[in-house]
C-alpha cells in the first residue's frame, strides 16, 4: 500500500530532525561496529602479553596504551565490547521475552489466582540480591559469560513483568479496549493488538535503561570475577585490574570507564529518540 | 463601582493570537454569563483575569478588579488579589480539591493564607461556611475527605473555599457541567443566593444556553476569542443580532428530523429479561462476606426493530452498568439477554460470540475510544473481525470507505491517525466503526454529551438519518433529557438499578407519572423560546 511507504519516509525524515536520537545512534553504532570488527581485525592480539611493553601510556603504536601484562588496551576494549553488548542484549531480551508476556497475562487475568502467583513470584526474584544469585549460579555451573547473562536476565524479568502489568491494567479500563471487546476480540488478541503497542514507549525507555544497567551489571560481575573469565577481555575486569595501577597508569582505568559511560549514554539517547519517533502523535507534530 | 472591567483584552500564547478586543464588565450583585463553545476563549478570559496564564502568554489591554488595574500589580499583589478579591470555581470538583486533606482543613487553609487568625478561629469559620453552602457540619463532618463526598457535595466545598474571604468577584467555570440535573439545580440556586446575599459579582462560564438563560442578568457570547454579542439576557435572547448567537440558540434547541419506522411485529432486536448485575463489595469482616451491591436489579426491556429507545437517569443509577451487560462486557448474575430472538448472554454462561455482531457501541469520550497507534482504517475495520470469512482486499476497502462516507467523512481519512481529528469527527469515526458490520442495535452511551452544541446537533442529525436510512435501532443512554427527548421514540427512566417509568417519549415528558421523573424534568433547565418580535 502506498500509505505504508509514506509512513516510512516520514519516520526517516523525523529521525533526521531528532539530534539526540542521531547522537545515540552514532555512539551505539560505534560500539557495535567495534565489537563486529574485532572478530576479523584488532590492532594487536588482545591476549598476547609483552611484559617489556607493560603499563605504557597512549602512543601512536598503542593508541590507548598497554596494561600490566603489556596487552594492547584498544584491542582489549574492542573484544570486550563483544561481551558487554552480547550480555546486555541477551539479558534484556530474556527480561522482555519472559517479563512482558507474564505481565500482559497477569493483567488480562487481573485479580485471579494466576495473577497472584505471577506477581508474587516476581516479588520473590525482586527480593533476592542479584549478586547472590549470580554467585549461586556460578557456584553450580562455574563462572563465565553465559552464566552472567542468565543471572542478569533473570533479574530483568520482574522489572518488565511489573511495568507491563501496571500499564496494561490502566489500559484495560480504557474505552478503546471496551470497543475491541465489543468487536469480539479475546484477551490474548487485545493484549497483542491494543495493549502492547501502547506499552511500546514505556518498554523502549525501560529497555534502554535496563540495557545500560546490564552493561554495568556485567562490568560489576566481571569486576568481582564472576563474569567472562580470563583471558577473554571484559570491560569490568579491565577496570578491576586497573585499580591496582591507578596511580601508575591511569589510562588503564580511563578507557574502559569511558567505554562504559559512552555506551550507556548512547543507549539512553537512542531509547529516548526511539520513544519519540515511535509515537505517531509526536512524530506528526515534529514533521 | 463595577467589580470587574475588562477593556480591549488581547491575549496570545506562544505567538498564536487567542483573544482580541474582549470587553466585559460586572457590577456588584450581578451575574454575567459567558457562553461559547470549546475553543472560544471563555476559560482563557477567566484565567487572564486571575493572571493564571501559561508562561508563554502575552496579554494587552486593561483589566480592573474592584478599581485596581491588574497590569500594575506584581506577583505578590496578585497573590493577595486572588482569593481575596477574585475567587474561582472549576468544573471538576474532584480534582479541584486535594484528596489527602480533610474538607474542613482545606476551607480553613484558604482563610489562614489571607487572614491573621488562629487555627481554631479558622476552623470555626470553616464550619460556618459549610453551613452557608448547605453542608450541615453536624451531618457532614469537616473531618471527611473529598472522596467520601458526592460530586455535588464536593462542589459545595469548592464554593465554600471560594467564598471564604467574601470575594468581590466569583468566577465559575462550568461549575455544574459534571453534575446531575437535580444537583445542578441545587448548586445554581446556591450560587444565585450567595451572589444576592454577599453582593458579589459573578462570571458564570458555560456552554449551556439553557442554564445561563435562567441565571444570568446579562450575557456575553464568545466565539474565536472575541465577544460577538453582549447585553442584558432578555435582550440578547430576544434580539439575537449576531448570526452566531442565533446558530448557537438553534443548535441548543435542535430537534433532528426523523420519522418513526418501527416494525412492531418483528422479533425484538433486544430483549433484556430480568437481568441482575451485582458487584462484590469489600469485606467488612474476615469471616463474613459483604452482601454484593446490586447495580442492576431485575431489569426487563425490549427494543423493536428500528426503534430508538432512550434510557435516562442520574449518575450511579446503573444505566452504564446495564449498557455493559447488554454488550456482554460483564457477566450476568441473573436473567438473560436476547439479540434478535437468540440468547446472547445469560447468567452462568459467557456470551455467545456468534450473536456479537448484532450489537455495537459508541462511547462518550471521543478521545479515549480509539487506540492512538492505529490508523483510522484499522480502527474502523476492527469489528469486521466478528464476521466469519471477513472481507479482504478491495471488498474490505469498499466497506471501510462506505462506512466513512456514511458518516460524512472521506475515504482518504482512512490513512490518518485519530489525533488528527476533532471531537465531532472522532465521534463520526466511532459511529462508522459501529456501522461497519451492520448491527441491528447500536448502544449510544452518552455519545453526544462531550460535544459542543453545534457539533452535537450535527451528530444527532447524522444519527437520525442513519436510523431512518438503515433501519438500525438505538439504545440512547444519557443524563441529558432534552437530547433524549429529541431523538427517541420511547424512553425509560432508571433509578437505583430499576426502571421506574417507561412510555413513549412524548407521554413521559408531557405527563410524567413517577415522582422521580417529575423531579428530573422539573430540574432540567429549559431554554426559553425567544419571544417573536
Domain-wise residue ranges, chain A: 19-42+62-279
Q: Please work out, in degrees rounded to the nearest 5, the angle formed at the alpha carbon of residue A74 by the alpha carbons of A58 and A225.
A: 115
Q: Which residues of chain B are within 8 Å of residue A281 when distances are taken between CB atoms?
A: 372, 417, 419
Check if B368 contacts A (Cβ < 8 Å): yes
Task: Answer yes or no: do B307 and B206 share one domain.
Answer: no
Q: Which residues of chain A are within 8 Å of residue B320 when distances are taken between CB atoms?
A: none
Q: Which residues of chain A are within 8 Å of residue B375 when distances are taken between CB atoms?
A: 3
What pLDDT digit, counting tens, does each position of A9-36 carry?
Answer: 667 777 777 888 899 899 989 888 888 8
The count of domains in chain B is 2
Across the interface, do A198 and B353 touch by the CB < 8 Å criterion?
no
Across the interface, do A185 and B385 touch by the CB < 8 Å criterion?
yes
The stretches of B13-114 forming alpha helices (DSSP H) are 42-50, 75-84, 93-96, 103-114
* pLDDT (average), residues A253-266: 87
Check if B394 contacts A (Cβ < 8 Å): no
Q: Which residues of chain A are within 8 Å of residue B374 when distances are taken between CB atoms?
A: 197
What pLDDT digit, counting tens, does each position of B403-429 carry?
Answer: 999 899 999 999 999 888 888 899 999
Q: Which residues contact A63 (CB under 8 A, 6 or more apart)?
A: A43, A74
Residue for grid cell 539530534: A19
In chain B, % helix, strand, coil (3-state, to 5) comes to: 40, 25, 35
Give the end of a domain, one of B230, B249, B279.
B230
In a domain, residue B498? The reply is: yes
Task: Answer yes or no: do B174 and B296 share one domain.
Answer: no
pLDDT score at B532: 43
Residue for grid cell 511500546: A200
Mutate to test the interface with A, among B382, B439, B447, B477 (most CBs of A within 10 A): B382
Give me the CATH number covering residue B220: 3.40.50.300
Predicted ipTM > 0.85: no
Mutate to test the interface with A, among B365, B373, B394, B417 (most CBs of A within 10 A): B373
Closest residue by Cα to residue B444 from B457, B455, B460, B458: B460
Cross-chain CB nearest to B363 (options A175, A279, A281): A175
Chain B closest-CA separation from residue A29 CA (Å): 28
Task: Answer yes or no: do B438 and B506 share one domain.
Answer: yes
In a domain, residue B13? The reply is: yes
pLDDT score at A282: 63
- How far apart (Å, rounded) are the C-alpha atoms in residues A105 and A84? 31
In a domain, residue B412? The reply is: yes
pLDDT score at B530: 57
Cross-chain CB nearest to A184 (options B356, B368, B419): B356
Q: Which residues of chain B are within 8 Å of residue A10 when distances are taken between CB atoms?
A: none
Task: Answer yes or no: do B67 and B15 share one domain.
Answer: yes
Residue for grid cell 453526544: B448
- What would the grid cell of residue B87 be? 475567587
For A6, nearest residue in chain B (alpha carbons): B415
Q: Which residues of chain A are within 8 Å of residue B373 when distances are taken between CB atoms?
A: 197-198, 200, 279-280
Cross-chain CB nearest to A183 (options B375, B383, B420): B383
What pLDDT digit, counting tens, does each position of A160-205 carry?
Answer: 999 999 999 989 888 888 888 888 888 888 999 899 988 988 898 8
Pick the CATH number of A19-42+62-279 from 3.10.20.90, 1.10.600.10, 3.10.290.10, 1.10.3720.10: 1.10.3720.10
Q: Which residues of chain A are within 8 Å of residue B357 when distances are taken between CB atoms?
A: 184
A60 vs B124 pLDDT, higher one = B124
Using DSSP, state whether B195 is helix, strand or coil.
helix
Task: Answer yes or no: do B206 and B274 share one domain.
Answer: no
Cross-chain CB nearest to A184 (options B353, B363, B430): B353
Phi and psi angles of residue B89, each rounded to the nearest 5 degrees, phi first = -120, 140
The region that residue A54 occupies, defined by phi over 0 for left and psi between -120 and 50 for alpha, beta otherwise, is beta
Domain encompassing residue B490: 270-523
Across the interface, do B373 and A3 touch by the CB < 8 Å criterion?
no
Across the interface, do B353 and A280 touch by the CB < 8 Å criterion?
no
- How far apart (Å, rounded) are the C-alpha atoms in residues A167 and A163? 6
- How far apart (Å, rounded) are the C-alpha atoms in residues B124 and B130? 10
B94 vs B504 pLDDT, higher one = B504
Cross-chain CB nearest to A175 (options B356, B368, B374): B368
pLDDT score at A6: 52
* pLDDT (average), residues A95-117: 91
Task: Answer yes or no: do B208 and B302 share one domain.
Answer: no
pLDDT score at B71: 83
Check if B373 contacts A (Cβ < 8 Å): yes
Give the end of a domain, one of B181, B205, B230.
B230
HSE, side-chain direction, 13 A CA sphere, residue B10: 8
| B247 alpha carbon, distance to own chain's centre | 21
pLDDT score at A105: 93
Query: Do A209 and A220 form a contact (C-beta atoms < 8 A)?
Result: no
- How far apart (Å, rounded) are the C-alpha atoms in residues A132 and A224? 12
pLDDT score at A7: 56
Task: Answer yes or no: do B281 and B173 share one domain.
Answer: no
Q: Which residues contact A34 (CB under 8 A, 6 or more apart)?
A: A77, A78, A81
In a domain, residue B48? The reply is: no
Give the end of a domain, one of B230, B252, B286.
B230
What pLDDT digit, counting tens, does each position of B366-406 carry?
Answer: 888 898 888 999 999 999 888 877 788 899 999 999 999 98
Query: Do B377 and B400 form a contact (C-beta atoms < 8 A)?
Result: yes
pTM recorded for the entire structure:
0.79
Q: Which residues of chain B are within 8 Å of residue A200 when distances are taken between CB atoms?
A: 373
In a domain, residue B180? The reply is: yes
Check if B475 contacts A (Cβ < 8 Å): no
Amino acid at each position: 500500500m502506498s500509505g505504508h511507504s509514506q509512513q516510512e519516509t516520514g519516520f526517516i525524515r523525523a529521525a533526521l530532525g531528532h539530534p539526540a536520537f542521531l547522537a545515540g545512534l552514532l555512539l551505539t553504532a560505534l560500539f557495535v561496529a567495534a565489537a563486529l570488527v574485532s572478530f576479523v581485525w584488532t590492532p594487536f592480539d588482545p591476549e598476547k602479553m609483552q611484559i617489556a611493553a607493560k603499563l605504557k601510556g597512549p602512543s601512536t603504536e598503542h593508541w590507548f596504551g598497554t596494561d600490566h601484562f603489556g596487552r594492547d588496551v584498544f584491542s582489549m576494549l574492542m573484544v570486550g565490547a563483544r561481551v558487554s553488548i552480547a550480555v546486555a542484549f541477551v539479558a534484556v531480551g530474556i527480561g522482555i521475552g519472559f517479563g512482558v508476556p507474564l505481565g500482559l497475562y497477569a493483567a488480562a487475568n487481573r485479580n485471579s489466582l494466576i495473577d497472584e502467583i505471577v506477581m508474587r513470584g516476581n516479588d520473590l526474584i525482586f527480593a533476592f540480591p542479584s549478586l547472590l544469585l549470580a554467585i549461586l549460579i556460578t557456584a553450580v555451573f562455574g563462572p563465565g559469560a553465559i552464566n552472567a547473562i542468565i543471572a542478569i536476565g533473570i533479574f530483568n524479568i520482574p522489572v518488565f513483568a511489573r511495568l507491563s502489568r501496571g500499564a496494561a491494567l490502566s489500559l484495560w479500563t480504557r474505552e478503546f479496549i471496551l470497543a475491541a471487546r465489543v468487536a469480539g476480540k479475546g484477551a490474548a488478541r487485545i493484549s497483542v493488538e491494543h495493549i502492547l503497542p501502547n506499552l511500546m514507549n514505556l518498554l523502549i525507555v525501560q529497555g534502554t535503561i535496563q540495557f545500560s544497567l546490564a552493561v554495568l551489571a556485567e562490568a560489576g560481575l566481571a569486576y568481582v570475577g564472576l563474569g567472562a573469565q580470563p583471558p577473554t577481555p571484559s570491560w569490568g575486569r579491565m577496570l578491576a585490574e586497573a585499580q591496582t595501577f591507578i596511580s601508575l597508569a591511569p589510562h588503564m582505568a580511563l578507557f574502559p570507564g569511558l567505554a562504559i559511560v559512552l555506551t550507556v549514554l548512547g543507549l539512553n539517547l537512542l531509547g529516548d529518540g526511539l520513544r519519540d519517533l515511535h509515537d505517531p502523535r509526536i512524530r506528526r507534530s515534529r514533521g | 463601582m463595577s467589580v470587574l472591567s475588562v477593556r480591549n483584552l488581547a491575549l496570545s500564547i506562544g505567538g498564536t493570537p487567542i483573544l482580541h478586543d474582549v470587553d466585559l464588565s460586572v457590577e456588584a450583585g450581578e451575574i454575567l454569563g459567558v457562553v461559547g463553545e470549546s475553543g472560544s476563549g471563555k476559560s482563557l478570559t477567566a484565567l487572564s483575569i486571575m493572571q493564571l496564564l501559561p508562561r508563554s502568554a502575552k496579554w494587552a489591554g486593561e483589566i480592573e478588579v474592584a478599581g485596581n488595574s491588574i497590569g500594575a500589580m506584581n506577583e505578590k499583589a496578585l497573590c493577595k488579589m486572588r482569593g481575596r478579591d477574585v475567587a474561582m470555581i472549576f468544573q471538576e470538583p474532584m480534582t479541584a480539591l486535594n484528596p489527602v486533606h480533610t474538607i474542613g482543613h482545606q476551607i480553613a487553609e484558604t482563610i489562614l493564607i489571607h487572614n491573621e487568625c488562629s487555627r481554631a478561629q479558622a476552623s470555626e469559620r470553616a464550619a460556618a461556611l459549610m453551613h452557608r453552602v448547605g453542608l450541615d457540619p453536624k451531618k457532614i463532618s469537616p473531618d471527611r475527605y473529598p472522596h467520601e463526598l458526592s460530586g455535588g457535595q464536593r462542589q459545595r466545598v469548592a464554593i465554600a473555599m471560594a467564598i471564604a474571604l467574601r470575594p468581590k468577584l466569583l468566577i465559575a467555570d462550568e461549575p455544574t457541567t459534571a453534575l446531575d440535573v437535580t444537583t445542578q439545580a441545587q448548586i445554581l440556586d446556591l450560587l444565585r443566593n450567595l451572589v444576592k446575599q454577599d453582593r458579589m459579582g459573578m462570571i458564570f462560564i458555560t456552554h449551556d444556553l439553557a442554564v445561563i438563560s435562567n441565571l444570568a442578568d446579562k450575557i456575553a457570547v464568545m466565539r474565536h476569542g472575541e465577544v460577538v454579542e453582549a447585553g442584558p439576557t432578555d435582550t440578547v435572547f430576544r434580539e439575537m443580532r449576531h448570526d452566531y448567537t442565533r446558530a448557537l440558540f438553534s443548535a441548543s434547541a435542535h430537534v433532528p428530523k426523523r420519522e418513526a419506522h418501527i416494525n412492531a411485529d418483528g422479533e425484538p432486536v433486544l430483549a433484556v429479561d430480568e437481568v441482575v448485575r451485582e458487584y462484590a463489595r469489600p469485606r467488612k469482616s474476615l469471616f463474613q462476606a459483604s452482601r454484593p451491591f446490586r447495580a442492576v436489579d431485575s431489569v426487563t426491556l425490549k427494543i423493536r426493530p428500528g426503534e430508538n429507545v432512550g434510557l435516562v437517569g442520574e449518575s450511579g443509577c446503573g444505566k452504564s452498568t446495564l449498557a455493559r451487560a447488554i454488550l456482554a462486557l460483564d457477566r450476568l448474575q441473573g436473567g438473560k439477554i436476547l439479540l434478535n430472538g437468540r440468547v446472547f448472554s445469560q447468567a452462568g454462561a459467557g456470551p455467545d460470540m456468534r450473536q456479537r455482531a448484532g450489537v455495537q457501541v459508541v462511547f462518550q469520550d471521543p478521545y479515549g475510544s480509539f487506540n492512538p497507534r492505529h490508523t483510522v482504517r484499522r480502527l474502523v475495520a476492527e469489528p469486521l473481525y466478528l464476521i466469519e470469512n471477513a472481507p479482504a482486499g478491495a471488498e474490505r476497502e469498499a466497506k471501510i470507505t462506505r462506512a466513512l462516507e456514511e458518516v460524512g467523512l472521506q475515504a482518504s481519512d482512512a490513512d490518518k491517525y485519530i489525533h488528527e481529528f476533532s471531537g465531532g469527527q472522532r465521534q463520526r469515526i466511532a459511529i462508522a466503526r459501529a456501522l461497519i458490520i451492520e448491527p441491528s442495535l447500536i448502544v449510544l452511551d452518552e455519545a453526544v454529551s462531550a460535544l459542543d452544541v453545534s457539533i452535537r446537533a450535527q451528530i444527532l442529525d447524522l444519527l437520525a438519518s442513519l436510523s431512518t436510512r438503515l433501519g438500525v435501532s438505538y439504545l440512547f443512554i444519557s443524563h441529558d433529557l432534552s437530547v433524549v427527548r429529541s431523538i427517541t421514540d420511547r424512553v425509560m427512566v432508571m433509578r437505583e438499578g430499576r426502571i421506574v417509568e417507561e412510555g413513549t417519549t412524548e407521554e413521559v415528558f408531557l405527563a410524567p407519572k413517577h415522582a422521580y421523573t417529575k423531579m428530573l424534568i422539573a430540574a432540567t433547565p429549559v431554554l426559553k423560546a425567544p419571544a417573536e418580535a
